A and B are shown apart, each in its own frame.
Chain A
Amino acid sequence: MRHPDLIGAVVIFFFGLLAIAAALTTPDPGFGVVGPGVLAAWLGGLVLLTAVWLGATALRATGRPDVATVEMRPLLFSFIAIAVYFALFVRLGFMLTSAAYLIVECRILGSSRHRRDAIAAVLFVAAMYVVFVRFLGVQLPRGILPF
């Protein structure tokens, strides 16, 4: 398939099917006239129609849509870095994971001043900790550190 919107239409179509399936399996306790899954099922149906509409628009289009060029390498590394950061946020704690993530992400985003980034990361995380935990009373995960 040459047109990205056609792929989008197919993905959206399957998303619509999934929504309808989930809506239809929602139990109806029998109160009221309309069950809790009805609107979701209708929305799923509209998603299917939108997929067909998008697909038809893409098929009629003469050129490719204006889609920006992306660099896969930094995107993939950022994607992994954020995934790992979020996955370990509670287990290893806010301070440790955030400082490590900041240092790694700065490198992914092209910074070459590693010492500056490391100092900035530690200071930033410490400031965040003081503001949120000490002043605002937000409980951030400690993880393996005692604070």
Chain B
Amino acid sequence: MDILGSLLTGFGVVLQPQNLVYAFVGVIVGTAIGVLPGIGPALTISLLLPLTFSLESVPAFIMFGGIYYGAMYGGSTTSILVNTPGESASVVTAIDGYQMAKKGRAGAALATSAIGSFVAGTFATIGLMVLATTLADVAVMLGPAEYFALMLVALAAVSSLSGTSLPKSVFATLFGLLVGLVGSDVQTGTVRLSFGIQELENGIDVVLGAIALFAIGEVLWIAATSGSEGSQERQTLKGSAWMTRSEFRRSIPAWLRGSAIGFFIGSLPGAGATIASFVSYGVEKLSSKRPQEFGKGAIEGVAGPEAANNASAGGALVPLLGLGIPGSGTTAVMLAAFTIYGLQPGPLLFAQHPDLVWGLIASLYVSNAALLVLNLPLVGLWVKLLDIPKALLYSGIVVISAVGVYSLNYSGFELVVAFILGALGFLFRRFNYPLAPVILGIVLANLIDNAFRRAMILSSGDVVAIFMRPGAAAMLVLAILFFTLPFLLRLYGRVSGRRDIAELIETDVG
């Protein structure tokens, strides 16, 4: 079936009244939680995963689509009105968005953000459809050696693009891989790295890892640093949430550039929404006729990064759906959600579960439209959420985390594991070790181990022979390029005297 026909099938699934409700609920819940500071999309999806346990796979993933887009959008409202970004990708929106709000242009900032997110989300979903199906067609031809090399590319990219210190990012990745290898080996049933603890024989669930590292680590971090947070002056929405003709004209090219930048960067493993939004901001400033307005309330400074932020969400789904390999912490959690339903994302998913995959893609269009329809009228409600006392909010997150972890396997022992990983999550954050590579490592560990061992069987135990296959060799070169990217950029920055490049690679993007 062609893409259009498949998409129509997807819409046939998602437009059923029950599924439509799940999409809307997902968008509202995702936005509501995405608004809250410190809770990014990965944690939002992890925390809300238990809510879908009683659902069939199709409505569950339709709801996930809504949660994902809602969580990505959620941070912008509070960035603009309160100067409090809900997650790191919205940090850059706060720069000009809050300044616009202070000048009484909050409505225009919110409107350009909402419409830009809609334009970018639509652009990215079209790109996702085309690219993921093409990738899936190519991926069926890949052998274990190519898959192994491909996963090395993902890990190298995540290691080099996360955090500020390469050795720390590499350790985070290796740590995640080792945690992911704990438990029974799929090929032989042998238990490994469990130190004789029987409860570890089933391994450590990636959802448990995400909840522990992001949620419990975050609460410990808040407890340790609560005194250092200042309160922000809250701006109100005066008049209607709309733009003047001039603001609309200035926003259009920024939306389009942001969409393209966001989709491209989002589809690269490890890069993600934060880098996309920062790059978009830089591009807008460079290409603007009024660069002096940036930092003081330039509408392009909101339109571009917000579009890039949402387009990257669609881009990040390309490697997940096309290859079955997540490129970010958020998509790693989504991969875990797929496995909970006994599904393996990748080329075969398009053939075996077209209703689910195309239902998910169609739900992204619906969620995108729902965001546009719901978000501007509900601005007041989103801002009100910031009135929840911090103490209640964060202690509530621990309770939801406990329920989330316990409901995975009804195991009290897993709460102990979650507590230990949560404490490690705090230490990682305290000493600037990025967390996204840990999650990606946990989710990829068994996949990479299986691909490696199958490739070794085919090459009769010769490691070098694995990389003699042209596809695997090309991917190994790509992995090395990704891994050395920070060195190369730093070198280029030094030689060319471009301090902005050096600063960009030293920006912590988690």
A contacts, CB < 8 Å to B: 4-5, 8, 12, 15, 19, 22-23, 26-29, 31-34, 36-40, 43-44, 46-47, 50-51, 53-54, 57, 65-72, 74-75, 77-79, 82-83, 85-87, 89-91, 94, 98, 101-102, 105-111, 113, 117, 120-121, 124-125, 128, 131-132, 135-141
Contact = CB atoms under 8 A, between A and B. Distances in A.
Interface stretch (B272-280, B311-319, B387-395): B387-395
B398 A110 contact: no
B223 A78 contact: yes
Contacts of A46: 170, 174
A102 B397 CA distance: 10
A23 to B, nearest CB: 7
Chain B interface mostly: helix
25 contacts: A15-B175, A32-B453, A32-B457, A34-B457, A38-B453, A40-B193, A46-B174, A50-B167, A67-B430, A68-B430, A71-B223, A75-B223, A78-B220, A85-B402, A89-B402, A89-B415, A91-B412, A98-B402, A106-B395, A108-B223, A109-B223, A109-B394, A124-B392, A139-B410, A140-B403
Interface residues of B, number: 68
B291 to A, nearest CB: 29
Candidate in B54, B178, B226, B456 with the most chain A CB atoms within 10 angstroms: B178
Contact of B224 (A37, A70, A124): A70
Interface string B434-460: 000000000000001100110011001
A38 B7 CA distance: 44
A110 B226 CA distance: 9
Contacts of B239: none
Interface in B168-208: 168, 170-171, 174-175, 177-178, 181, 185, 187-193, 195
Contact of B226 (A23, A109, A120): A109
Given A34-B456, A65-B432, A70-B430, A40 B396 contact: no
Given A50-B171, A54-B171, A128 B403 contact: yes
A50 B483 CA distance: 14
Q: Which of B174, B225, B390, B400 has the most CB of A within 10 A?
A: B174
A27 B190 CA distance: 7
Interface of B: 50-51, 53-54, 165, 167-168, 170-171, 174-175, 177-178, 181, 185, 187-193, 195, 216, 219-220, 222-228, 389-392, 394-396, 398-400, 402-403, 406-407, 410, 412, 415-416, 418-419, 422-423, 426, 430-433, 448-449, 452-453, 456-457, 460-461
Contacts of A117: 391-392
Contact of A141 (B392, B406, B419, B460): B406
Nearest to B453: A34
Name the residue among B191, B225, B416, B460 with the largest chain A CB count within 10 angstroms.
B225
A50 B228 contact: no
Given A78-B220, A89-B402, A101-B398, 12 more contacts: A5-B165, A31-B188, A34-B452, A40-B178, A43-B178, A47-B178, A50-B167, A67-B432, A71-B224, A105-B398, A124-B399, A132-B407
Contact of A75 (B54, B167, B220): B220
Nearest to A9: B167
Contact of B418 (A5, A69, A86, A109): A86
Given A68-B430, A70-B224, A90-B412, A22 B193 contact: yes
Contacts of B51: 131, 136
Given A111-B391, A117-B391, A75 B224 contact: yes
Nearest to A8: B431
B298 to A, nearest CB: 29
A79 B422 CA distance: 10
B348 to A, nearest CB: 23
Contacts of B188: 29, 31-32, 36
A40 B441 CA distance: 12
A125 B419 CA distance: 20
Contacts of A38: 453
A89 B401 CA distance: 12
Contacts of A39: 181, 448-449, 452-453
